[in-house]
Amino acid sequence: NAAEKGGYEHFMLKEMYEQPKAVSDTLNPKHDPHIVDGKIVLNELGMTDEEILKIKKIYIVACGSAYHTGVTGKYVFEGMARIPVEVDLASEFRYRNPILDEGTLVIIISQSGETADSLAALREAKARGIKTLGIVNVVGSSIAREADNVMYTWAGPEIAVATTKAYSTQLIALYLLAMRFSQIRKTVSEEEMEVMIQDLKRLPDQIELLLANKEKIQKFANRYLAAKDVFFIGRGVDFAISLEGSLKLKEISYIHSEAYAAGELKHGTISLIEEGTLVAAVLTQEDLYKKMISNIVEVRTRGAFVMAVTNEGNIEVEKASDYVVYIPQTNSYFTNSLAIIPLQLFSYYVSLGKGCDVDKPRNLAKSVTVE
Ligand code: G6P
């Protein structure tokens, strides 16, 4: 009812607006602060430094949007902590007899902690004697109870089927974990760590700032209600967020969309670009910036209309694209947390404009507890 939605038209909008708090609570839970004296402390994790030093490989296993945060996690863990990471869909992992050697850590990410495939993947890893870590939002859920170690996200209850705040807190949990592992494995200098911590702390306010842009995004979204196909492109962590941006749009607006690693465009999607096709390009990675600009030029030459999400200061993007949303400066590992906000708002307003059931899209469930 209206009271539960706290004055917002939909749970999804309310939950998007709860993101600054959810992110801040996950960064630094009051009962167990994670940032102490310029260091990342994860007491709840219950893993010793020795255990963390022994990790040779990480599997991140999840479903849906949680899987997408895992894709981000791969880039962050490998880049920062220099540990090889494989990301897997739980429904694939559980049936393919994965190679689980000593020194492997299996991380299961799940908002509900009850997703059948994710729970089965956890049980499979445990049965094979492999250490498991759950990143879970619901305290006391099956995955939280059964995993050897748990790290909680503090998004609070999420009602809308399309996840927003839980997704955002999962990203934070992964950053914290990767930073903690990097600290112990000494793959990041103390100075770099300090800068990263400062950047982390700024995220809630920066998210707030991006949410304040909603009218502009609504206006833009209203032009795309009749779109048939939308493509999301990015490189590095921007590819990971393209997957999530695309899922958000298609699940609640029923517009077909696809995410592509921008370098793969010419091996597929580019043949589908026609006059007026919307392409959402995310370019927050400075080292990949020029490559992304050429990808944008490629699709635009073929008639695409380009919406770009990029860092403040990248004014060159204005020339190359048709509509630009700027995100404030942050560490290159953390840009997903900011770039997702305009993409969530865009999906929400397309769905709203089309008159879809935003909070309860057809055929989808919030939590899939059967196979
Ligand atoms: C369902 C939801 C998705 C969610 C996925 C995994 O399909 O609709 O939004 O990402 O399950 O859920 P979990 O609770 O494991 O994160």
259-281 pLDDT, tens digit each:
999 999 888 888 889 999 999 99
The residue-averaged pLDDT of 225-246 equals 96
CA separation, residue 106 to residues 56, 101, 127, 287 (Å): 11, 11, 12, 30
Does the C-beta of 118 come closer than 6 Å to ligand 1? yes
- Asked if the model's pLDDT at residue 34 lies above 70, the reply is yes
Percentage with pLDDT > 70 across the chain:
100
CA dihedral 89, 93, 95, 96 (to 10 degrees): 120
- Atom index in ligand 1 nearest the CA of residue 166 equals 16
243 touches 71 (CB < 8 A): yes
Question: Alpha carbon of 47 to those of 42, 52, 150, 244: distances in Å?
Answer: 9, 7, 10, 30
pLDDT of residue 272: 86
Which residue's alpha carbon is at the smallest distance from atom 5 of ligand 1?
64
Tell whether the model's pLDDT for residue 361 goes beyond 70.
yes
For atom 15 of ligand 1, the residue with the nearest CA is: 110
pLDDT at 344: 97
Given the CA of residue 162, which atom of ligand 1 is nearest to it?
9
The residues annotated as belonging to the active site are 366
Q: Is the CB of 367 under 6 A from ligand 1?
A: yes
Q: Where are the beta strands (DSSP E) in the chain?
A: 35-36, 39-40, 57-62, 85-89, 104-110, 131-136, 149-152, 229-234, 256-261, 278-283, 305-311, 323-327
How much is the average pLDDT of 23-51? 92
Q: Is the ipTM of this structure higher than 0.90?
A: yes
pLDDT band at residue 364 under the 50/70/90 scheme: confident
Residue nearest to atom 3 of ligand 1 (CA): 64
Q: Is 368 in the pocket of ligand 1 (CB under 6 A)?
A: yes
Average pLDDT score, the chain: 95
Which ligand 1 atom sits nearest the alpha carbon of residue 170? 16
pTM score above 0.95: yes
Give the least confident one: 226-230, 311-315, 361-365: 361-365
Q: Give me Rg for the CA atoms of the chain.
A: 20
Residue-wise pLDDT tens digits, 175-192: 999 999 999 999 999 999
Quick check: 336 pLDDT over 90? yes
Query: What is the secondary structure of 135-199 as a DSSP string?
Result: EESSTT-HHHHHSSEEEE-------SSS-SHHHHHHHHHHHHHHHHHHHHHT-S-HHHHHHHHHH
Q: Which of 102-116, 257-271, 327-341 has the lowest average pLDDT?
A: 257-271
112 lines ligand 1 (CB under 6 A): yes
Q: Measured in angstroms, how far is the CA atom of residue 55 from the centroid of ligand 1?
A: 28
- The answer to whether 240 touches 247, Cβ cutoff 8 Å, is no
Q: What pLDDT score was predicted for residue 1?
A: 65
